[in-house]
Amino acid sequence: MDGKIAIEEHFVTPALLDTIFPNIGWDQDEWQLMTELLQDTDERRLQAMDAGGIQTSVLSLTAPCIQDIVGASDAVGAARHANDALAEIVRRSPDRYAGFAALPLQDPSAAAAELERAVGDLGFRGAMANGYSSVGDLSTAAYYDEPQYQEFWERVAALDVPFYLHPRNPLPTERRIYQGREELLGPTWAFTMETATHALRLMTSGLFDRVPTLQIILGHMGELLPFALDRTQQRLEHIPSVNLQRSTVEYLRENFYITTSGNFHTPSLLGTIDQVGPERILFAVDYPYEQISDAVDWFDGLKLGQPELEQIGRGNAQRLLGL
């Protein structure tokens, strides 16, 4: 299928290289190649997009970057730098790229202001945050269901753009279960558990009752939530202190979009379609951490009807992002 829109595709600037780190098991050569690919938006990336029938990639700053900068003022400056750099990339190739803003969520007011600048002045289509934000030191996390983020979420909804909740590893002080099994950190397993739990915090906090139009994007086929929420909801109904206007299953169906990034598994896609409908699913690769050829070979070979392929491959992204 030609004309696909891929919406979780990463980049980094030279100035922010020291805010990212290799995955478990990568050697120096692999990491060197990855840093080159993250910085390239003019040659190899476009060639791979052309070969895979991807018309547009929505670029976002790779992880953890801004979220790992413990000083709020430093995070504000780094986010502004990243967004200005991304705006220039999009300006050079407006028919091939769109942007998600990086946000200094260490300071919710500054994050709201930067999102408004990125959407209003730079033409970005939403925002991505790489998990919780480190505040003050690397053992302290701010999660976005906490009260200080209420006005930020209201600003996101008022701007009518989505917020992509991307993974990061759990706090260094909360990794006992991974000790001796560090291969389970990162995208192998820990990313999913951290991000799914963060999304559940948003749901059970009542955020979507207070801001009912808010739209969140989750990658990697929904971080397992499409397959777990019926059980979660069944147990929440037995807890008197939980007082929500809708069920977690309804929040997933009405306030979340799910992408295929890095999870090219047909039974999982079919289960996700059954849970949320094809109108809530978006095509994504997770480039350069995943290969474009792997994603498109899988997607283009799916035995879905043409209307569903069109929705997932580009139509939903066009509608959600105004592309």
Residues annotated as part of the active site: 286
9's tokens: 């595709």
Task: For residues 182 and 188, give the distance between their C-alpha atoms in angstroms, rounded to a whole number.
Answer: 10
Contact between 215 and 51 (Cβ < 8 Å):
no
| Cβ neighbour number for residue 319 with a 10 Å cutoff | 11
Q: DSSP letter for 169, please.
A: P
- Largest distance between two CA atoms of the chain: 56
Lookup: tokens for 10: 């990463």
Distance CA 313, CA 2 (A): 9
3-state secondary structure of 123: coil
Task: Give the number of residues written for the chain.
Answer: 323
Q: Is 223 left (phi over 0), alpha (psi -120 to 50) or beta?
A: left
The Cα–Cα gap between 64 and 123 comes to 23
